[in-house]
Amino acid sequence: MGMELNQSDILNPMKVLNDWMKEVSNDGKQPNPNCFSIATTNREGSSNARMVLCKEIDIEDGYIVFYTNYNSTKAIELDYQSECSGVFHWDNYGYQVRIKGFALKSPRDESDDYFLSRSLGSQVAAWASEQSNSIGNRKDLEKQFDATLKKFNIKQKQLMENDQKLPRPPFWGGYRIWIHEIEIWLNQNDRFHDRLLFQRDLSLKDGRYISTKGWIKKRLQP
C-alpha cells in the first residue's frame, strides 16, 4: 500500500484488511496483530465491546472468523442481535479498519478443525471455563482446570508434550462476521486522514450471506 488510499485502486476492501494484517504480522513486532474489538448489543440496547482474535479473513465472500464460548455474554448478545461492529487498529502503521456485519456461527466441521489445531492446554482451558460466569477466586478456577484434566485423564506433563487432542466442546466454536460495511482509514499529516467507506447489501441464503451488487465505495472526510 502506498502513502495514500487511492479510491479507484481498491476494488475489494477485504483485500486491504488482509494485506494490512499480513504486513503487521510479518513484521512480528505486535504480540496479537490479528486482534480486533467486537461490539455487541444487549436486550436493553446498550453496547458491549471486547477484543477477540481474527483467525480467518475470507476476501471473496467478505467475512472474518473469531472463536469463543457459545454461552459467553457476547454469544448471548449475538443470539439476540446478530448485527455487530468491530475495529482493527495498527498504531505503528497508521492503519484503522472498522467493520459492521452480521454474526453467524461457523460450520461445525470448521470449528472442529480449528479446535484440533489448538494446543492441549488451550483445549483444556476451553472445556474448563464457563466464560463470562462469575467464580469465587483464582483457586476455584484452577480446580476447574484440574477437574478437566482428570475428566479426560490427562497428566500435567502431557500438557508440555502437547501430544494429545481433545474433542471440541459443544459450547465452543467460531463465528463468521459477514461484513456489510467496512471503512479503511490511513493516517495522514495534520490529521487530514484518508477514509474510504465500502458498503454492500447482504441477504441471507442457506446459512450464508450473499451480495448481488458488490461493494459501493465513497470517500469520507477525516
Out of 51, 116, 160, 220, point to the residue binding ligand FMN (CB under 6 A): 51
Q: Among 30, 131, 144, 158, which residue interacts with ligand FMN (rule: CB under 6 A)?
A: 131
Identified binder of ligand FMN from the candidate list 18, 30, 132, 188, rule CB under 6 A = 132
- Which lies closer to ligand FMN via its Cβ, residue 50 or residue 219? 50
User: What is the amino acid identity at position 116?
Assistant: L
68 vs 148, which CB is nearer to ligand FMN?
Answer: 68
Per the CB < 8 A criterion, the answer to whether 105 and 173 are in contact is yes
Of the candidate spans 49-57, 93-101, 105-113, 162-170, the one that interacts with ligand FMN by CB under 6 A turns out to be 49-57
Residue selected from 3, 11, 53, 135 as contacting ligand FMN according to rule CB under 6 A: 53
- Tell whether residue 74 is a contact of ligand FMN (CB under 6 A): yes
Nearer to ligand FMN, 11 or 51 (CB): 51
CB of 124 to ligand FMN, least distance (A): 16
Q: Does 39 bind ligand FMN (CB under 6 A)?
A: no
Is 10 an interacting residue with respect to ligand FMN (CB under 6 A)? Answer: no
Q: Under the rule (CB under 6 A), what is the footprint of ligand FMN? A: 32, 35, 48, 50-53, 66-69, 72-74, 131-132
